[in-house]
Structure formats: structure tokens, C-alpha cells
Amino acid sequence: MAKASAFDSLFPANSIVAPEALRDYCDQTVKKAAELNRSLLNSVSQAVEGNFDLATKLIRCNDPAEAMWAYKEWLNARREAVLADGKTLAAQWMKLCDFDLALATATSVVRQAEQTNVSTMPRAAAAGD
């Protein structure tokens, strides 16, 4: 019973957001943030591997023209990778923000309903009325 009363004190029955909705929101946010983190780490890992590949190619080059060709090839591949990673990371970030917006919208709908209910209630007569 102590756990139930502690839970009830954190999330009163008249709260704007239901406890289950808040728990689900936090769960989904953590999952989406972990997915974004994995993508970011994957992007950095690919960048480091590409840099090492470029370094090994440059070490093997015998003349400046060959080095310029290797660098140009690496730069084109890196540009494509950065664009692809940017699109992926932006899409994941927008998913995370969309989920935040969904909870905010749900909360605002509840608030508007509560305000409507309060505004339609009969008012007590004031002392000067």
C-alpha cells in the first residue's frame, strides 16, 4: 500500500496527464533517444574508419597526383555519407520532436477541456453584487 500512496502523491487523480501516458511517453522518448544515439555513434565510427582508409591510401601514394585522386575519392564518399547521415539523424530527431508534440497536444486538449468546464460553472455572487 505504501507504494500505491507514493505513486498517488506523485500523480494525483486530477493531474493533467495520466500516469500511464507519462510512463509511455518516457519509455518511447528513451527508446528514440537510444536509436538516435546509436545512429550518431555509427556515423562517427564510419567517419573514423574512412579517415584511416584515407590515411593508408595517402601513405601508399607515390606522387601528388595520385594523392589528390585518393583525397578526391575519399571526399566524395565522405560527402555522400554525411548527407545520408544528416538525413537519417534529422528524421530521427523529428520523430523525437513529433512525439514531444503529441504529448503536448494531448495535454493542451485536456487543459482546454478543463478550462471549458470551469468557465461553464455557475459563479457565486460577489459581495458587492
Count: domains in the chain: 1
In the numeric block, the cell 458587492 is attached to 128
Domain assignment present for 117: no
Nearest to 29 by CA among 103, 110, 111, 106: 103
- Residue 74, domain member (yes or no): yes
What number of helices (H) and strands (E) belong to the chain?
A: 3, 0
Q: What is the mean pLDDT of the chain?
A: 78
Report how far residue 122's alpha carbon sits from residue 55's, in angstroms, rounded to the nearest whole number. 78
1 is a domain residue: no
Q: Does residue 119 or residue 76 have the better pLDDT?
A: 76
**Residue 69 within a domain:** yes
14 domain-assigned: no
The answer to the question of residue 78 being in a domain is yes
Spatial CA neighbour of 49 closest among 86, 78, 80, 72 = 78
Distance of CA 77 to the CA centre of its chain: 27
Output 16 or 38, whichever has higher pLDDT.
38
- Per-residue pLDDT at 23: 83
| Residue at 64 is within a domain | yes
Under the banding of pLDDT at 50, 70 and 90, the label for residue 1 is very low
The per-residue pLDDT for 15 is 60
At 57 the pLDDT is 93
Instruction: Report how far residue 123's alpha carbon sits from residue 121's, in angstroms, rounded to the nearest whole number.
Output: 6
Q: Report pLDDT digits (tens) over 27-81.
A: 888 888 899 899 999 999 999 999 999 999 999 999 999 999 999 999 999 999 9
Q: Grid coordinates standing for 1?
A: 500500500
Domain that holds residue 90: 35-103
56: in domain:
yes
How much is the pTM? 0.58
> Is 106's pLDDT higher than 70?
no
